[in-house]
Amino acid sequence: MGIVISEVLKEFATTAGDERALIKSSGRLLEFSLTTDGAALVKAGAMDPFTLLPLALMETHAEASVRNLTDKRLPHFRRQLHSILDKVPADQLEKIRDDLDAMRAALGIQGREGELSQELGREVRKRQSPSGPGQKTIDRKGGPELGR
């Protein structure tokens, strides 16, 4: 979701007329970061509102209202977030980190042994030229030659 949010905010920042959408969406991201769940995600390293915001584009934006968000609202937000991060319960933080580790592990297994990988393997085998009678086929897993 972070990638999607970041890209949407960049789009708002570079499209004339989307200043209000940029300010409102950025504000919602900042507000979420200050909630109990949002602060826990920030502290666990699962989300960083400062990398999701297109700060370089916002700081040089033509609209003063957008620049005010970065000049005035962000410093206040940083102070608020810093005080909230200290209050995140250790058990909630540990649960988020465990969930992240489990997701990373599941994605790693899926990439190596998932259904898509198996389907690609079948397609590769279908496209290879068949061996004629008496020819040997090499095992694609690096094993010994196999007779047909």
Same domain, 66 and 81: yes
Same domain, 76 and 96: no
Same domain, 112 and 65: no
Q: Are 23 and 66 in contact (CB under 8 A)?
A: yes
Rounded to whole angstroms, how far apart are CA atoms 85 and 41? 10
Same domain, 43 and 70: yes
Q: Which residue reads 């592990």 in tokens? A: 105
Instruction: Provide DSSP, 61-110.
Output: -SSHHHHHIIIIIHHHHHHHHHHHHTTS-HHHHHHHHHHHHHHHHHHHHH
Host domain of residue 120: 89-127
Same domain, 69 and 17: yes
For 15-61, write each residue's pLDDT tens digit: 999 999 999 999 999 999 999 999 999 999 889 999 999 999 999 99
Q: What's this model's pTM, rounded to 2 decimal places?
A: 0.66
